[in-house]
Structure 1
Amino acid sequence: MAKYTREEIIERTEQLAKMIRDTEEVEFYQRAEKQINQNQKVNDRIAQIKKLQKQAVNLQHYGKIAALKETEAKIDALQKEIDELPIVSEFKESQGIVNDMLQMVTKTISETVETEILSSIEKKKEE
């Protein structure tokens, strides 16, 4: 049975990370993220949301509940407007795909390690 050093495992992990980075899914995610960052409408709405969030903090601090609710409704409306943009929905979809892929890799590694450890323990019991 081969023995690996920590350094070899890290090296293989880095290779796996590079392989994942070079998938179509990650490349699409990165392109979508870049397009969002360059989209003026998205940037304007985000700036408006940040401004309103600061107002909301002040309103909450001073106990202005009615004004706070109105400000929060404006924030929600702006967020909904952003979320409904095709570029944003494509980005979120690609983000989900990439997250699923990473979870699958993590689960596979975890299950494989667990299986190998249990198998090793069973073999030692049989000896």
Structure 2
Amino acid sequence: MTNTEIVTRKEIIRQAEKLATLIAQSAEVDFFKRAEQQIKKNDKVQQLIAEIKRLQKHAVHYEHYEKSKALEETEAKLEKLHEELDQIPVVQEFKQSQKDVNDLLQLVTNVISNTVTDKIIESTGGDVLKGETGGGPNLSCPLR
């Protein structure tokens, strides 16, 4: 592909789908899927999640009816349950795997953004190190 060839939005989407497929096949996503399966199989984790959901419904009810004492007690119970859940190794692994996948996605986003910016600067004869497009002061955009 030459530098002057215009690419359609459809082609960009097609390439993005290929990239998404690569990401879905990454070690980070594979670990995430395995960790998620372990979470689903762990009875203790599932019991805690069910109890958290039950108490969250109560909390919404208490908040709606302005039952501050009951809400406060329920929120304290929820906090303890969340702490207990967070101490379980499989939950820690799952949360780390979520973070790793998010980090990978953020990295890809940053690489795309930075590369597009650099290509714009380069194609206008600008200076990538300064982050300035080319054209000089006489050709700058008068939107200041």
Write the distance in 1 (CA, Å) between the matches of 2:80 and 2:12.
Answer: 48
Runs of 4+ off more than 4 Å = none
- Residue number in structure 1 paired with 2:122: 119
- Residue number in structure 2 paired with 1:33: 36
Structure 2 counterparts to residues 3-14 of structure 1, below 5 A:
3-14=6-17
Q: How many residues align?
A: 126
Which moves more between the two structures, 89-98 or 63-72?
63-72
Q: Is 1:55 aligned to 2:65, yes or no?
A: no
Higher relative contact order (CA 8 A, sep 6+): 1
Determine which structure has the larger helix proportion and give its number: 1
- Residue number in structure 1 paired with 2:76: 73
Q: Unmatched 5+ residue regions in structure 1?
A: none
After superposition, give the CA deviation of every residue in 1:60-116 in whole Å (9 maximum; x if it has no partner).
233322221111111111111111110010011111111111101000100110111
| Aligned AA (2:44) | K
| Aligned AA (1:34) | Q
Write the distance in 2 (CA, Å) between the matches of 1:61 and 1:5.
Answer: 51
| Aligned AA (1:50) | K
Query: 1:10 Cα shift?
Result: 1.3
> Share of identical aligned residues, percent?
49
Write the distance in 1 (CA, Å) between the matches of 2:55 and 2:38.
Answer: 24
Query: 1:41 Cα shift?
Result: 1.3
Q: Is 1:87 aligned to 2:90, yes or no?
A: yes
| Aligned AA (2:135) | K
| Aligned AA (2:121) | L
**TM-score normalised over the length of structure 2:** 0.79
Structure 2 counterparts to residues 90-109 of structure 1, below 5 A:
90-109=93-112
**TM-score normalised over the length of structure 1:** 0.89
Q: Unmatched 5+ residue regions in structure 2?
A: 127-133, 137-144
